Chain A
Amino acid sequence: MEQNNKPVKYDLNFAREIYNLENGSYIKQCMQCGMCAISCATREIMDYSPRRLFNLIKLGKKDEVMQANTMWNCTSCCTCKARCPRGVPIIDVMHDLKKYAIQNGYADYPQAAFYKAFWAEVAGRGKVFEGGVTARYYLLRGLDEVKKAMAMKDVGLKMLKHKRMPLFPPKKIKGLGNLKKIIKKAQEIERREAR
């Protein structure tokens, strides 16, 4: 929370950009009730509740919003969306914000790397290979993170033991080419709709 003496200055330009995201315009109808703040499963580790995040967006606080961990800690459990009295599809907004953050170079959060790794796996293989996601994630995060990964090796070994993480990649799906076509088409549509 900002408690410095300098007044914060509102700036609607950022808000307009966010409102133009796929589900962004729903943010406008937020009435600042705070239901989302409580229904959120990960509220204790979020920098800002969705309500506060939307308030910050509305008032143009781009840096605070983009640097917040809020959207990255969203687990898409859907409780907030189900309970939002104004029908804001909060998890969809969170997805939009994550994407916007990545596109605008605010991808410092580890979750951003995870998303990239996950996407690369799915798009490249048609399926998720946990080992692949893990490897890509840590590589994306850089050398220091690899060291951290080594510290997690016991967890990895246990997962292997319980067959929760296969050692070898699964076979690619059938018709991977078609999947790639579908993705390409979807991306084209998305670009077109974003004007």
Chain B
Amino acid sequence: MEKKIAVYICTGCGIGEALDIDALSKVATGEYKAPICKQHGFLCGQEGVELIKNDIEAEGANTIVIAGCSSRVNYDVFSFGPDKIVERCNLREQVAWCHPAGDEDTQMLAEDYLRMTLAKLKNLNLPEPYQVENMSKTVLVVGGGFTGLTAALESAKAGYQTVLVEKEATLGGYVGKMYKQVPMKAPFTELEENGIPALIKAVEDAGVKVYTSATLEKTAGAPGMFDVTINQNGSTVEERVGAIVLATGAKPYDADKLGHLGYGKYENVITQAQFEEMAVAGKLEASKVAFIQCAGSRDKEHLPYCSAACCIESMKQALIVKEKNPEANVYIYFKDIRSNGQYEHFYKKAQQEGVIFIKGDVTEIAENDGTLTITADDHTMGTQSEADEFDLVVLANGMVPSAALGDVVEEPAQDEAAAAAEEPKAQAPTIIKANLLNLAYRQGPELPALKYGFPDSHYICFPYETRRTGIYAAGVVRAPMDMLYAQEDAVGAALKAIQCIEATAVGQAVHPRSGDMSFPEFNMTRCTQCKRCTEECPFGAINEDEKANPLPNPSRCRRCGTCMGACPERIISFKNYSVPMIGNMVKAIEVPEEADEKPRILVFACENDAIPALDMAGLNHLEYNPWVRIIPVRCLGSLNLVWINDAMAKGFDGVLLMGCKHGDDYQCHFMKGSELAEIRLSKISETLNRLGLESERVRATTVNIMDYDKIPAMLDEFAAELEELGPNPMKDFQ
């Protein structure tokens, strides 16, 4: 597209009072030869928008620069169709509202921002969506238990072809073997018949293609074009699917490890699963039964987490004992009763039926004359207690996700050269060979495991977020949960799978850059096979051939730009985001000579959190250092070190990276962006020192969206430290 640039400077909201607009216009018309440059007192008003629309129609303007407010507001007003480039230059929140009006430095800041915006346009083009070939809209559900069946049914009900793979010979999973279910609806007091047979029938009626006694031998490809090899009883079948729901469930915690509670020692100490078996077989004849909660769970020696479902499952089983024998005595030993939410009614129901709840820790289980005796510390009695003549003790033995069962994939041994270089590296995510998906991915065969092996999302706001695009974990494989939660989880994961399919079909990214149509393109002729992009991609989007050439999978890509930041040869670019594009912005900034005593600080700020925080600083009229020039980046992970070289060569006195918190509670929406940027910084310090530049000039800091009050001090402190270091000696060599 031949760009015809039109620049519109809004003088409303205090911008006109703060700046010399005519001088600013000259930047556009003089320095950058913009054919159209106009100013208006109320650009977002009807008249202002008409002005722009007229120029689009009459003058053929197709690349519109709005120099006014932040892109976080009036996004709808300044939208002129998909074939127009619109760039916003933030003169309001980042200039007029946080810097003194009429000041020389404020003017310089505004002019630089306009230069940066115009320079950015040079390498900026409208993205063309990536089209998957032989696109499949089929949803694959792995696991035919309660969650998997639900996900498959709901996906089919939404009109999508659905394939279900179950490794056992029969569908139903753990729940299928239950005698009865916990209540799933108001009033949350009545046990329900096992719903699995009806669910299986519904799945069959809905036309779901079911493979039993089948496992996934291999999952290759990408969203819209996953090719899965299904091994059914030894023979293999291929299916092409669009997205995957992983619902492989959990296993009860290994009761053999609960010898201290008498398991394995006494025949009548059983697990929750064994209880269900007995009940189904009609062999449940007990007149005195104890349930031991947190048998394994909430125990540092076993499962540090709470398994979430056991309290209400034990209540259910206690009620089954009572149903079979109303005269039976039933005790539940617990730490805390976790009948969260409306299951409080179920707790009360169990109490009303005469189940005795004892808050205490079981210290010993022993057998006397064929019955069991339990000794415990009774917390609310403040004493040791004893109860005997139990003919059954049921251990609520918690759950372990199926994704956690297997060996951890070891990092491949480094070759000698790499080992010698000892480059600092981000910790690769843990992959456990659980034999669930067998992904043909460079980064390992399964979803990355989070704490305790759950492939959970780690985001409160985005619980289905996943590090392998198009694959959504649901149910107890994802996190410990009860059946009601699992039911909803299954439906939600089915939605996400369908959504990924629909986005892929039109070449759009999924969360968090939903709708983004840009994707990275590789100039392979210059690739040195350094593997950085394939290793660092947080989503495992890039495979490798045997010669270590990267093999990108655009529909797996989440468009964060981490690969672009990682690439030392700068061969990876998006149509609208690239190394030269940001480089041009850096180079467009005018760095005054040393004698002018106007230092310059370049800030690369994450557009998800740091940029809104900077906007908020503006909204609150918090004044901050005028030497600062801010460049938004998709994620700090996309930071390419050449930009820092450019900045230093240009004479910037310092560079600050504003990214998201990392570590265990990371807030980076691309997992590791800010962490990777810091690791890269550590690599550049040596280079800087060699150039006679102090490595302290380049620094990374974490800023969350609420830190706007801290930003002025943060920038002032950095400026003060730079002042101590003195000006960048490269400054006047420009």
Contact = CB atoms under 8 A, between A and B. Distances in A.
Interface of A: 1-10, 12, 15, 19, 25, 28-32, 52, 55-56, 58-59, 86
Interface stretch (B52-60, B204-212, B352-360): B352-360
24 contacts: A2-B381, A2-B382, A7-B375, A7-B383, A7-B385, A7-B386, A8-B381, A8-B383, A8-B385, A9-B386, A10-B331, A10-B387, A12-B329, A28-B352, A28-B353, A31-B337, A31-B351, A31-B357, A32-B359, A32-B380, A56-B381, A58-B356, A59-B381, A59-B385
Given A8-B378, A12-B356, A58-B356, A3 B351 contact: no
What 8 A-B pairs come out closest when comparing CB atoms? A7-B384, A7-B386, A10-B387, A29-B351, A12-B329, A9-B386, A2-B383, A28-B351
A3 B351 CA distance: 28
Contact of A9 (B329, B357, B358, B385): B385
Contact of A8 (B352, B356, B386, B388): B386
A9 B358 CA distance: 13
A48 B331 CA distance: 23
Contacts of B384: 5-8
Interface in B354-403: 354, 356-359, 375, 378, 380-388
A25 B383 contact: no
Contacts of A1: 382-383
Nearest to A34: B380
Contact of B354 (A7, A9, A28): A28
B356 A55 contact: no
B454 interface: no
B349 to A, nearest CB: 9
A10 B386 contact: yes
Interface of B: 329, 331, 337, 347-348, 351-354, 356-359, 375, 378, 380-388
Contact of B382 (A3, A5, A15): A3
Nearest to B388: A9
A55 B381 contact: yes
A6 to B, nearest CB: 8
Contacts of B351: 28-31
Contacts of B388: 9
A6 B386 CA distance: 9
Contacts of A4: 383
Given A25-B352, A29-B348, A10 B380 contact: no
B344 to A, nearest CB: 9
B379 to A, nearest CB: 10
A32 B351 CA distance: 12
B326 to A, nearest CB: 12
Contacts of B381: 2, 8, 55-56, 59
B348 A86 contact: yes
A2 B382 CA distance: 7
Nearest to B384: A7
Residue from B337, B352, B378, B387 whose CB has the most chain A CB atoms within 10 Å: B387
A10 B373 CA distance: 11
B329 A3 contact: no
A86 B350 CA distance: 13
A12 B388 CA distance: 11
B328 to A, nearest CB: 10
Contact of B380 (A19, A29, A55): A55
Given A1-B382, A28-B351, A31-B347, 9 more contacts: A1-B383, A8-B383, A9-B388, A10-B386, A28-B352, A29-B351, A31-B348, A56-B381, A58-B356
A59 B387 CA distance: 9
A10 B382 contact: no
Residue from B347, B354, B388 whose CB has the most chain A CB atoms within 10 Å: B354
Nearest to B379: A32
B649 to A, nearest CB: 69
A154 to B, nearest CB: 43
Residue from A6, A15, A32 whose CB has the most chain B CB atoms within 10 Å: A32
A8 B386 CA distance: 6
A15 B329 CA distance: 11
A3 B352 CA distance: 30
A15 B356 CA distance: 10
Contact of A29 (B331, B352, B382): B352
Contacts of A2: 381-383
B354 to A, nearest CB: 6
Contacts of B347: 31
A15 B384 CA distance: 19
Contacts of B385: 7-10, 59
A147 to B, nearest CB: 39
B382 to A, nearest CB: 5
Contacts of A5: 384
Contacts of A6: 384
Nearest to B364: A7
B338 to A, nearest CB: 13
Contacts of B356: 10, 12, 15, 58-59
Contacts of B387: 9-10
A1 B380 CA distance: 11
Contacts of A8: 378, 381, 383-386
A13 B204 CA distance: 51
B605 to A, nearest CB: 50
A101 B381 CA distance: 22
Contacts of A58: 356
Contacts of B353: 28
